[in-house]
Structure 1
Amino acid sequence: MTDASIERKIAVIFVTDAVGFSKLMAQNENATMQSLNACKDILARLFDEYGGRIFNTAGDSVLAEFQSAVSALICSTEFQKLIKQRNNTVTEEYQMMFRIGLNMGEVIVEGTNLYGDGVNVAARLESFCQPGGVSLSKSVHEFVSQKVDFNFADLGNQKVKNTLVHAFDVNIDGIQRRELNLKKDDELQDTGKPPTIAVIPFKNMSNDEEQEYFADGVSEDIISNLSSWKSFPVISRNSSFSFKSRDAKTSEIAKELNANYIVEGSIRKSGNKVRITASLVDGKDEQQVWSKRWDRSLDDIFEVQDEVSQEVAALILPALKGREHERVKSKPPSSFSAWDNYLKGLALFNEHNRDIHIDEIMELCEKAISIDGQFCDAFVLKSRCLYDRMFTNEYSNQRESNEQKFHEVAFAAFNIDPNNPEAVSAYSRSFNLKKDYQQRIKYAEKALDLNPSHAGSNFDFGLALCNEKRFSEAESYIEKAIELDPIRSRVYEAFFPLLYMAMGNSKQAMFWSNIVYERNSHSRHDGFRAAISVHLGDLEGAKRFLDIYKKARPEIQNLDDYQKVTPAICEDYLLQGLEKIW
């Protein structure tokens, strides 16, 4: 989906869930479900009265949007008031409490669902809220404070799940007023962690538009060199390159990428000469911290690239100067022609519709390899093409041969440079296909050690941990990948339904299954949601999802058929759920 086709709007987001729901379910499943349904009926009536629209649910969680911040606030306080009254009329086992978070901000619209920062902040506020209370963001408070007869407690900036939010509590009778130590913004932001750096695509100042790939390749090489330093995180190529050809202020780019410093520059290539200009800019005040220009022949272009990345790293953290010089340097191809072919292939691979270019990309890799048989990056790129092709339906009849080629190419890349993290990751995936999970995790961990700031290495290590059922650890590495590469967050988030089913976290599994389905309406998610609904105690909903799945997949006649297409990571969870309704 292109930026132009993304529908955005401002909305007031309401998020709530039941306090201690899992514990209540374990104590008395029937009473808990009866209570939850009764509370949801109360909420539904209030939504009808105040104009709330539910756009997502998962177990005990409800996400809704309002057109009016005032209506959302009154609805929230009325809900807590009615829940308190209900609790006073029922026995303890039927009592239930809720937290509510409210935020007003920009959201992305996909069908009937909403997502984006506007939703995420509301969810953070909900988790920060006290049981029986309502917490809201500064944007909501500024809008409603002069229009309603409520008192609010200003809690200042609070860091909730790595998100900085200016939070307010609504003062509600019976809920103790929180008195938190308010820290200044600078104190909250100064976490003692090293600064984050982003390298945005260098501008091609040459008249020859065909050399655009050269400018992109230089930018990527600088990202790679910077990332090999373990002392500070570097925003991934995918996120940084989303700003290619976009006219935006440095401060705006830094804010969107959550980066402290931005590296930007330009390249002017003429004949066998190249001029590279690079500068380091403070993302907060747009002050230029450092800049330099190199005029070189193409004979020493790789030395220039290393020099740029090393100088930037040394400027940000002087302590890095004592690190081994050789560890930063990559192994460039001995011939520029090999490098040239590789960069052209890489440019095509990074396009949105790369599938139509796979044959051309592999041909360019072969040309690079024929010129320089020790060019590790060309082998890595070819392995990525083969891996993609293995899981493409169009080439399903070539799966066995493509897998064999992948093993050969991945081993070749690793053999050439066992310290190249992408080569090590490819080698690790080879063991995963062979179901040698001990070696799989060994090399996935090595790739991460070589480059802790690489989003792909974090994600790949998270997947490897799943083979040992270390799901909580896997979750943290996948979240780290999203933090390092926010632009490609959807790619990583698509794994969450499987992960949370494997963890037995049905609420989160349903939440993410709904989101991923809205983004990509694949029938597999109806099968997932059928099983998840069973685990959540919603048998009627489960049967509806299963009927939809069966109509979309007529070849799946029974559980034995379904087991053949079930993801191994959550096979037990899915089969245990579906066997109750199939």
Structure 2
Amino acid sequence: MSKKVTRKLTTILAADAAGFSRAMDADEEGTYAALHAARDVFGKLITRHGGRIANTAGDGLIADFPSTVEAAQCAIEVQNELGSQESELKFRIGVHLGDVIVDGEDLIGEGVNLAARLQSMAEPGGVLISQQVYDQVHSKLTIGFEYLGEKRPRDLPDDIPIYRISMSRSGSAGRVYPEPLSRFFKPTSQKPANSPTPPQPTYPRSVMLAALISGALVLVNLVSGGGIWAHWPILAAASIAAFSMADNVIPRQISALVPARAVVTIAALTLVNIFSWSGYLWVLWPAGALLIVAVTRKILSQPE
């Protein structure tokens, strides 16, 4: 008779030291000491926030928490404390809420795998969280979150929404970036099943207001005469809106190659070139420079 599998829903924190092998090659004893100092920080803060360490293989660790909020707060405090100590090792952290298999003291399963993949995608010193974690913590913690779009973690079949916690030394954070457009466009209440009319989406108030103002500008331009000028303020407003929501409006096939905000900037400059056309396609120069810088930064920011 097969042994019954024990499962539980928990919040998993996965952490790993960035560039550990290279650091060991350069200074084995110093790196070993830094690793143990960092583990002391992890252990202290994980315990303080009600979690436990499930696995400490190599230079990484897996911990789980009954509270998603405590797990996220622990991740922030770990990074802040390691940063304040100017630790020689920088850790990447991923946090996910999911179902796992309990194997003695260890945890295995898709939930652990996803937390580990988020960790591998994080920047050194950074924290990435899944949609499930974001839904639990975004209204409970006074920190900022940056929506990175839907990305496909290595060896996993589907794209998933990913958020980055906006880190600072104090644990506070600044700007909260927009969520996926799919979270803004919510269907209206359903009509009875026998109704032939499908539910219509409701749009964000800011989008409706921008459309109303743009329409008013066009109307004023047409009535006042004296040449066409309304496209300039409309272009400025549209560019600002698109830049702030770039990760949501640029297809991920494109943003995987070129950062979304660089694409929006190039598009805006192209429209300026067209609207002020004088026979010279000058946009090629700033667009080319932006592409080179953006692609270079994207390559350099990839995990090791």
Alpha-carbon deviation of 1:113? 1.2
Aligned residue for 2:92, secondary structure, equals strand
Aligned residue for 1:12, secondary structure, equals strand
Structure 1 letter corresponding to 2:39: K
Question: Is 1:182 matched with 2:177?
Answer: no
Give the alignment partner of residue 136 of structure 1, picking from 129, 132, 141: 129
Deviations 1:120-142 (A, max 9, x none): 11001001111111100000000
Correspondence for 1:214? none
CA distance in 1, matches of 2:132, 2:19: 29
Question: Is 1:95 matched with 2:88?
Answer: yes
CA distance in 2, matches of 1:45, 1:161: 31
Correspondence for 1:22? 21
Summarize the Cα distance change of 1:125–1:97 in structure 2 as closer, same or farther, 3 Å threshold: same
Point out 4+ residue stretches in structure 1 off by more than 3 angstroms.
174-188
- 8 A Cα contact 2:147 2:247, kept in partner: no
Alpha-carbon deviation of 1:182? 3.3
Deviations 1:37-89 (A, max 9, x none): 011111111112111211111111010100001100111100101001110xx
Aligned length, in residue pairs: 182
CA distance in 1, matches of 2:7, 2:18: 32
Structure 1 letter corresponding to 2:27: N
CA distance in 1, matches of 2:10, 2:26: 38
Question: Is 1:118 matched with 2:111?
Answer: yes
CA distance in 2, matches of 1:182, 1:29: 41
- 8 A Cα contact 1:35 1:96, kept in partner: yes
CA distance in 1, matches of 2:246, 2:120: 19
Unaligned runs of 5+ in 1: 88-93, 189-582
Correspondence for 2:52? 53
Question: Is 1:74 matched with 2:83?
Answer: no
Deviations 1:173-197 (A, max 9, x none): 3799999963689966xxxxxxxxx
Deviations 1:406-463 (A, max 9, x none): xxxxxxxxxxxxxxxxxxxxxxxxxxxxxxxxxxxxxxxxxxxxxxxxxxxxxxxxxx
Deviations 1:348-403 (A, max 9, x none): xxxxxxxxxxxxxxxxxxxxxxxxxxxxxxxxxxxxxxxxxxxxxxxxxxxxxxxx
- 8 A Cα contact 1:42 1:79, kept in partner: yes
Question: Is 1:173 matched with 2:168?
Answer: yes
Question: Is 1:145 matched with 2:138?
Answer: yes
Summarize the Cα distance change of 1:176–1:132 in structure 2 as closer, same or farther, 3 Å threshold: farther
CA distance in 1, matches of 2:64, 2:143: 21
- 8 A Cα contact 1:102 1:125, kept in partner: yes
Alpha-carbon deviation of 1:160? 1.8
Summarize the Cα distance change of 1:81–1:186 in structure 2 as closer, same or farther, 3 Å threshold: closer
Percent identical among aligned pairs is 35
Q: How does 1:403-442 map to 2 (within 5 A)?
A: none
Deviations 1:499-519 (A, max 9, x none): xxxxxxxxxxxxxxxxxxxxx
**What's the TM-score, normalizing by structure 1?**
0.29
Structure 2 letter corresponding to 1:165: I
Q: How does 1:51-450 map to 2 (within 5 A)?
A: 51-87=50-86, 95-163=88-156, 164-173=159-168, 182=247
Summarize the Cα distance change of 1:161–1:143 in structure 2 as closer, same or farther, 3 Å threshold: same
